Structures are given as C-alpha cells and as structure tokens.
Amino acid sequence: MFKRLRLGLTKGWLHFVLLPLALLWISPLIWIVLTSLKTRVEVFDTTAGLLPKIAQWSNYPAALSVAPFGRYLINSVLVTGGIISAQLITITLAAYAFARLRFPCKDLIFGLFLMQVMFPIYAIFLTNFVTIRELGLMNSLWALMVPFVASGYGTFMLRQAFRQVPAELADAAKLDGCGHFSTLWHVYLPLVKPTLIAFAIISVVTHWNDYMWPLLVTNSESVRTLPIGLGLLAKADSGADWTRLMAATVVVVSPLLVFFVIFQRRFVDSFMHAGIK
C-alpha cells in the first residue's frame, strides 16, 4: 500500500513539474493558431485579447492563394522522402563497413567522413552550389536532394549502434551461410531499428523546414518547397501579413504534427533506445 502511495505521489510530482513545461513548449503553437484566425487590426491592437473576436477562417484560403502551396507540398514530400530514402541506404552501408569490415586506412577515412559533421552546413553551400551547377541540375528537384544523400552524423549514429551488436550473432549468421548483405538485413538492421527511426525523424524535420538551400538552387514555382511559400508571405510589398503568414505556417507544420501524433509512441521509444554509447 505504501509503495503504491509513494509511486502515486512521485507521478503526481512529475506531472506537476512537467505540465508547466509542456504548456511553455506548446504556447508558440497556440499563439500561431490563434493569430491565424484574427484580423490584421487585432494583431497589432494592444487592447485586443488573446482570442480572436470572430474566427477569420478565410485567412487560410487567402494565404494559400498567394502561392501554389499544393505544388510546394508535393515538392516537399518528394524532396524529403527522396533524401531520407537515400540516406537510410548510404548510412546503413557505410556504418556497417566502418563498424564490422576491415580495410586499409579505415580510421583515417572515417575521420575524414566525419569532417562534414564539424562544418556548419552554410560553410559548404558554395561548393555544393558549384557542384550542382556543373552537373546541370540547377532548378530541379535533384538539386535539392543530391547534396544530402549521405550523412556523416547518421553514419556515426548507426556505426555506434552496429558496434553494440554482439559479434557472436554475425558469426552465427556466417555459419548459416549468410553473406554481408544477408547478415546486415537479418541480424543488424532489426536490432538497430530504433536508431534508424531516430535519425529519420531528425532528417525529415531538418529537410522539411529547409529554406536557404531551396532558395539558392531554384528559381521557379514548379520545383520550390513549402518554406519558400512562407518566405513569399513574409516579404510582401506591404509588409508581412501576419494573419496569412500564421495560417500558412499552420498548413506547413500540420503534416509533421499529424505524423508525430500518429506515431508518437514509436518516436519516444526510438529516442529512448537510440543513445550513443
């Protein structure tokens, strides 16, 4: 009985501490949604309350009419999906090689491979831009994906996870006649699935919200992504239309929020079991 009481008090104390933190975290999202339903006058009226007097649902179609957000949404899905698909293949093969195979200068090559983690992404924009231009990929969806098909951070995460898998399992697979690809598929990948999911979440959020790179390598609406549409609303000739901008922001972040709500338990479990040792 006392054990249950102590457990209940502990949970209650945790809820008491975490609830204000949760409200603090979600408050910007609440403000965005409420602002998207206000008039422009209410946004700048210091006497107006937090809630809109009359919900202006018309801000949403008005915001979507500024730019072809439907086309931008499709492009964002294609680019983000293409990047994460390519990254999961490249980081898996590279991490397995660095973790379990022996070849000359392995540590040196791995150190050079990790150098891209040490440099901020903006430091290599120029070299990436020149490469994309020389390949003739400017103003295309390929230009948005090619520089990110490999990830030093993802390779490092997965290499650490592979190194935690007991070597006896791989030896047993080899005795059963499995080659490297069979061993990777049947032994390693099922055991490092939480790490793969954790990296996939980070990658999807990063590239879904990417603004600078699509702005640099695209110049037509047919290949631009959702963050570019938000930029168009923020740089209107008459100044930023905050109501429409917030409405468009809700549209942009909604797919990620819905995705998180559906798979939130898997997300939490993935990050809990994907610690780097």
Q: Which residue has the tokens 């007991």?
A: 166
Indicate the length of the chain as a whole number: 277
Give CA–CA dist 30/24, Å, rounded: 10
pTM score, two decimals? Answer: 0.83
Mean pLDDT, residues 1-20: 66
Angle (CA) 135 136 140, round 5°: 115
Residue-level pLDDT at 130:
93
Give CA–CA dist 247/242, Å, rounded: 8
* pLDDT exceeds 60 at position 273: no
Mean pLDDT, residues 167-183: 85
Residue-level pLDDT at 144:
94
* pLDDT exceeds 70 at position 113: yes
Inter-residue contact 79 to 228 (CB < 8 Å): no
Which of the four pLDDT bands, split at 50, 70 and 90, describes residue 111?
Answer: confident
Which of the four pLDDT bands, split at 50, 70 and 90, describes residue 277?
Answer: very low
DSSP secondary-structure letter at 119? S
Q: Which domains does the chain have, with CATH numbers?
A: 66-272 (1.10.3720.10)
State both tokens at 34: 């409420």
